[in-house]
Structure 1
């Protein structure tokens, strides 16, 4: 996530990135209220760089 926040193109293109933790290590990541990644839905951890790439695809 630090990679995204240090990139001005991304920092100004989104209002909020939110990590929503839950019980049992389950979590979801949302960008401006839209779901980017859900360990709960997928039943697995994200691969290295996967969440950053998903967020990049969401930014116009």
Structure 2
């Protein structure tokens, strides 16, 4: 997923931070806004869905 975000948005993002965690936690946030939470959905996110969500929020 990191590679997908960087290759598609490298000109639009200033940085990308990965924070290792345990317990099945996988969350994607952008500027403090939660975009996806595996803890809430119970499923690992689809890369394309996360990419589109990030891209949409960057347009704002």
TM-score by length of 1: 0.66
Q: CA RMSD in A?
A: 2.0
Is 1:57–2:48 an aligned residue pair?
Answer: no
- 1:49 shift after superposition: 1.1
Structure 2: where are the runs of 5+ without partners?
Answer: none
What secondary structure does 2:47 align onto? coil
1:27/1:40 contact within 8 Å kept: yes
The structure whose residues are more often strand, as a share, is 1
Moved over 2 A (4+): 15-22
Structure 1: where are the runs of 5+ without partners?
Answer: none
Q: Report the number of matched residues.
A: 54
Match of 1:22 in 2: 21
